[in-house]
Structure 1
Amino acid sequence: MSEEADLLSGSAITSFRLNGQFLAIAEELARPAGLTAAWWQVLGAAQREPLPVAGIARAMGITRQSVQRIADLLVDKGLAEYLPNPAHRRAKLLRPTAEGYAAVKKIGPAHQAMAERIAAVVGDDWPACLAALERLSRALDTLDDQRQ
């Protein structure tokens, strides 16, 4: 294999491992608030402003169908609500309820503690690590745009 092929394989394997590690951490952080990592992810995406399910899916890099399933569960549990969307009659907006905002807020202290633990290990390199991940993600977005 070429060096580029080795880099692609190594990047993919490392990102799959990171994804699993982050999901495990998210489950651990979300559980005391009565959430799952997936519920937290969807509620978190709509924290600043109500969003359509497709917008949440795009922002999170997951399928619209999986976000729809989770959004419906969140609404059924009273953690979120659907609002009319002035820009699109059929694509309602998802917004956390007061209970949903409170659940996400409850995660805050443990989230901060975990961030401090990771920072203690990674140190001053963390911003550069994040920048590299963001650059790789933008490159993959560019390639995806070119394929379409």
Structure 2
Amino acid sequence: MRKLALTIFAANSQLLHAGNQLVAHLGLSSAWWQVLTALRASEAPLTTAGLSRKMGLSRQAVQRIVDLLELHDLVKLQPNARHQRAKLVVLTEAGFAAVGRAERAVGPIDKVIADRLGAERIRNAINTLEELNDVIAGNLAAEVEKLSKKG
């Protein structure tokens, strides 16, 4: 299990580094791009808390990014009928355009990865990581919480 975790950490680091290089000329960072992409991929508008759950990041980290994206007119906050204080984060036209430019910028590396790994291996990796996330979120989170309080 430790080797899996270390491999995931290394892959994440490589993705963030490559992403930062590929979208820097667009005035974006990997973090901005991730939030914009998560918003575009969502079937419905999300709150900052919803975005943080979807991305596996802290709400505070996502809030800082959302605040910066709003300052750059890439997202806007809208009223939320379900919760008065938790605004919905939605892409602006400029935000949609920025995501499109970022996707085009990373397209070549996506193609290299897809060509090298193949569609089936990528699907299997996605399924495995989604299942891993479910196990951690559902079963292990409470155990981790208990262990961290002991230690």
The two structures share one fold, judged by TM-score above 0.5: yes
Q: Normalising by the residue count of structure 1, what TM-score does the alignment of the two structures yield?
A: 0.85
Match of 1:127 in 2: 123
Q: Normalising by the residue count of structure 2, what TM-score does the alignment of the two structures yield?
A: 0.84
Equivalent-residue separation in structure 1 for 2:68 and 2:105 (angstroms): 24
Name which of 93, 100, 103 aligns with 1:98.
Answer: 93
| Residue pair 1:44, 1:104 contacting (<8 A) in 2 also | yes
| Residue pair 1:29, 1:111 contacting (<8 A) in 2 also | yes
Deviations 1:3-49 (A, max 9, x none): xxxxx211111111011011112212322322111111111222243
Deviation at 1:127, TM superposition (A): 2.1
| Residue pair 2:77, 2:87 contacting (<8 A) in 1 also | yes
Matched, 1:13 2:2: no
Match of 1:140 in 2: 136
| Residue pair 2:23, 2:105 contacting (<8 A) in 1 also | no
Matched, 1:29 2:22: yes
Match of 1:50 in 2: 45
Name which of 100, 112, 119 aligns with 1:117.
Answer: 112
Equivalent-residue separation in structure 1 for 2:95 and 2:24 (angstroms): 14
Deviation at 1:126, TM superposition (A): 2.4
Matched, 1:66 2:61: yes
Which ranges of structure 2 fall in alignment gaps of 5 or more residues? 146-151
Aligned-CA RMSD value:
1.7
Which ranges of structure 1 fall in alignment gaps of 5 or more residues? 1-7
Q: Percent identity?
A: 37
Match of 1:40 in 2: 33
Deviations 1:111-134 (A, max 9, x none): 332221012222342222222222
Q: What amino acid does structure 2 have at the position aligned with 1:15? A: I
Matched, 1:77 2:72: yes
Equivalent-residue separation in structure 2 for 1:80 and 1:126 (angstroms): 30
